[in-house]
Amino acid sequence: HDLLMTELYPFLQERGLPVMTHCSRGGVQGRGVVTAAADRYTAPEAYVPVMEAFPSLRICLAHFGGAADWRAYVEEGMPPGDAEARRRNWQVAIRDMIGSGKYPGLWTDISYTLFHFDDNLPFLKLFLEGTGDEAEQLQRRVLFGSDYYMTRQERLSERAVCFRLRNELGEDLFWRIAQVNPEVWLGEREEEVPEAGGAG
């Protein structure tokens, strides 16, 4: 929207204020808004022009693409060389966008996504514990902690998810996504950028 691009985003970037936005299917509703149009508003690619125009603006695409796209990835898999399939699955698209390094202000979060714990955690762990620049970039751009009020609809409490996640990921990785990364995203902590070619 023109007003966002000319007024709001410049204001936020200038003041170092982050943006959290919904990024899962079905979240935008309104009279006359059909599902396909709603999804265009919240698709990861919708934020590419914003990130290109405001490279230091921190934007979190909340829910890491959403439960439906995580479920599709888990149940159907993903052909590694199929660029179009990777773009259509928002979870994969976000990972690819963060891992590319082209969007230094791009973040995502996993709090609500992880309530589908048994299905999604092994994949999250694999993504975050991977080796190489893409995995390292992802480790520095995942947040745990949003959508706490949605926990009232779920079998597990946020506390239970937190403890299970901590147990599965280990202290160091959990501390990164639950403490270090949120502080960096909120502008309360300087980011420690690893040396080129070195381990983080």
pTM over 0.75: yes
3-state secondary structure 55-114: CCCCEEEEEEECHHHHHHHHHHCCCCCCHHHHHHCHHHHHHHHHHHCCCCCEEEECCCHH
Identify the pLDDT of residue 149. Answer: 56
**pLDDT at residue 199 tops 50:** no
Identify the pLDDT of residue 98. Answer: 96
Identify the pLDDT of residue 123. Answer: 84
What whole-number distance in Å separates Cα of residue 186 and Cα of residue 200?
21
Residues 6+ apart with CB under 8 A from 132: none
Taking only the tens place, the pLDDT of each residue in 115-173 is 565 777 888 888 888 888 989 999 999 998 655 555 555 566 667 777 778 888 899 99
Query: Could you tell me which of 136, 147, 135 has the C-alpha nearest to residue 66?
Result: 147
Residues 6+ apart with CB under 8 A from 116: 67, 70, 71
Identify the pLDDT of residue 197. Answer: 52
Q: What is the mean pLDDT of the chain?
A: 85
Taking only the tens place, the pLDDT of each residue in 27-81 is 666 777 788 888 888 899 999 999 999 999 999 998 888 888 888 988 888 887 8
What whole-number distance in Å separates Cα of residue 148 and Cα of residue 158?
7
Query: Could you tell me which of 73, 171, 152, 72 has the C-alpha nearest to residue 112?
Result: 152
